[in-house]
Chain A
Amino acid sequence: MEIKVLGPGCAKCQSLEKTVKDVVASLKLDIKVEEIKDMKQIMQYPILMTPGLVINGKVVMSGKVPTRADVERHIMSALKAEETTG
């Protein structure tokens, strides 16, 4: 699975990145969380407001810092989707 956090460095973006890394660590998953800070690259994704959370190339949420539970839910459902497809 690949997880990306889109954000040019705003306070909310940093806080999202931290939340995501915490969740990944607490679920004991071996996933690298990539930060995308370059505005040009960010604009490749269909996103309106940063921060944005991208899981497996799909923007799952944008514009706010989600709670840990939200992030966990998104990651779990992405894991499940990966299992069923292959």
Chain B
Amino acid sequence: MDFILALIRSGWETLLDYLSLHVLTCLIPALFIAGAISVFVSQASVLKYFGPRANKWVAYGVGAVSGTILAVCSCTVLPLFSGIYVAGAGLGPAIAFLYSGPAINVLAITYSARLLGWDIGLARVVGAVFFSVIIGLIMAYIFRREEKARNDGRFDTLSEAEKGKPWWQEVIFFAILVGILLAASSAQWIILAVLFAALIIVLWRWFTLDEFKLWMKETWRFLLLIVPWLLIGVFIAGILKAVIPPSTVAGLVGGNTILGNLVASLFGALMYFATLTEVPIVKAFLDMGMGKGPALALLLAGPALSLPSMLALGKIMGWKKTLTYVTLVVIMATITGYIFGLIDQ
């Protein structure tokens, strides 16, 4: 009984710790940005670079970076992936998108950088983008004979961008939002107040009330979608801290060995991390002595793969491709983690 109480207490304390101001000041602005991206950025205009007639090289590049705009919520990743694979630019770019998406959406970037440090946050973005292209290219090469995209017209029903705001208004709007995020997370309250005033002016002059309502609705939806998972993840991270002896963690994934990186990325590949929960869990492992290299390996393999997502992928593209993809992800995450561990001593 005492043991269970101790578990719950550890989970609870970690929860309180993470709910502190410095986490909230970064997550809340990031949620508003995610909502704004989903409502105001014309995703159709990005998607046309994935179409059946798209230039392959452009499609790879867009696949590697467009997660920022398209993967705001992990629930959109699989439909987009299967669309690009089945009817669009084909396997390689679809894989690039699938791999980098979970790592480079705005919430994942800010949250990992905030909680785990800027070095890991940045390495996660760079590693995900770079290796997504490599994994995509390898997959496309291995299965080059099976490449046969069929055009089932799903790219044609995409509505062209509605005549939105002039691009510079959107740029200013998003620049202010990002500024608010940075100012809030570095506690620059005066700058924050100025930016808030600017935001109000921008909203008042350039946005309709309906647009504003849509934005708030979407932000609220993300909050409901993400925060419960996050709290559960944080709680579990706290329990892990109480259950697993730090010496085990340090022994398995401490320092920066190839084996340690492999263990971390295998663990990440099999575990299921709901939206963003990988971050507090990695944080717990770091506190218990996990090396930074293995931490990055876990972050890269974790959200990209899980048993449920493997099952879904198997149905979409078949088991041979899925297994190849899983193997590649584990290998690449291991290598990336190892290199990062070497650089970031």
* A contacts, CB < 8 Å to B: 8-12, 14-15, 39, 42-43, 46-50, 52, 59-64, 66
Q: Is the CB of A48 within 8 A of B221?
A: no
CB contact under 8 A between A60 and B157, given known A46-B87, A49-B44: yes
Cα–Cα distance between A10 and B158 once the two chains are bound (Å):
17
Residue B153 at the chain A interface, CB threshold 8 Å: yes
- Report the minimal beta-carbon distance from A42 to chain B, rounded to whole angstroms: 7
- Report the minimal beta-carbon distance from B314 to chain A, rounded to whole angstroms: 14
- Across the interface, B80 reaches (CB within 8 A) one of A8, A48, A61, namely A48
Cα–Cα distance between A12 and B159 once the two chains are bound (Å):
14
Chain A residue nearest in CB terms to B316? A43
Q: Is the CB of A12 within 8 A of B39?
A: yes
CB contact under 8 A between A46 and B152, given known A11-B214, A60-B157, A61-B159: yes
Q: Is the CB of A47 within 8 A of B79?
A: yes
Q: Is the CB of B79 within 8 A of A63?
A: no
- Across the interface, B157 reaches (CB within 8 A) one of A14, A43, A47, namely A47
Q: Is the CB of B154 within 8 A of A66?
A: no
Contacts of B44 in A (CB 8 A): 49, 63-64
Instruction: State the main secondary structure of chain B at its contact with A.
Output: helix
Q: Is the CB of A10 within 8 A of B221?
A: yes
Q: Is the CB of B159 within 8 A of A47?
A: no
Contacts of B78 in A (CB 8 A): 39, 43
* B contacts, CB < 8 Å to A: 35, 38-39, 42-44, 47, 75-76, 78-80, 82-84, 87, 152-155, 157-159, 161-162, 214-215, 217-218, 221
- Report the minimal beta-carbon distance from A35 to chain B, rounded to whole angstroms: 15
Q: Is the CB of B154 within 8 A of A63?
A: no
Cα–Cα distance between A24 and B110 once the two chains are bound (Å):
43
Chain B residue nearest in CB terms to A53? B157
Cα–Cα distance between A59 and B154 once the two chains are bound (Å):
8
Cα–Cα distance between A57 and B157 once the two chains are bound (Å):
13
- Report the minimal beta-carbon distance from A50 to chain B, rounded to whole angstroms: 7
Cα–Cα distance between A63 and B35 once the two chains are bound (Å):
15
CB contact under 8 A between A49 and B76, given known A11-B39, A59-B154, A64-B44: yes
Q: Max chain B CB contacts within 10 Å: which of A10, A42, A52, A59?
A: A10
CB contact under 8 A between A66 and B159, given known A10-B218, A11-B214: yes
CB contact under 8 A between A50 and B76, given known A11-B221, A12-B214: yes
Contacts of B217 in A (CB 8 A): 11, 14
Contacts of B158 in A (CB 8 A): 48-49, 62-63
Contacts of A9 in B (CB 8 A): 221
Contacts of A52 in B (CB 8 A): 157
Contacts of A62 in B (CB 8 A): 154, 157-159
CB contact under 8 A between A39 and B75, given known A11-B218, A61-B159: yes
Contacts of A10 in B (CB 8 A): 38, 218, 221
Q: Is the CB of A39 within 8 A of B79?
A: yes
Q: Is the CB of B159 within 8 A of A48?
A: no
Contacts of A63 in B (CB 8 A): 43-44, 47, 158-159
Q: A12-B38, A47-B154, A62-B154 are in contact. List 7 more A-B contacts (CB 8 A).
A: A39-B78, A46-B152, A46-B153, A48-B79, A49-B44, A63-B43, A64-B42
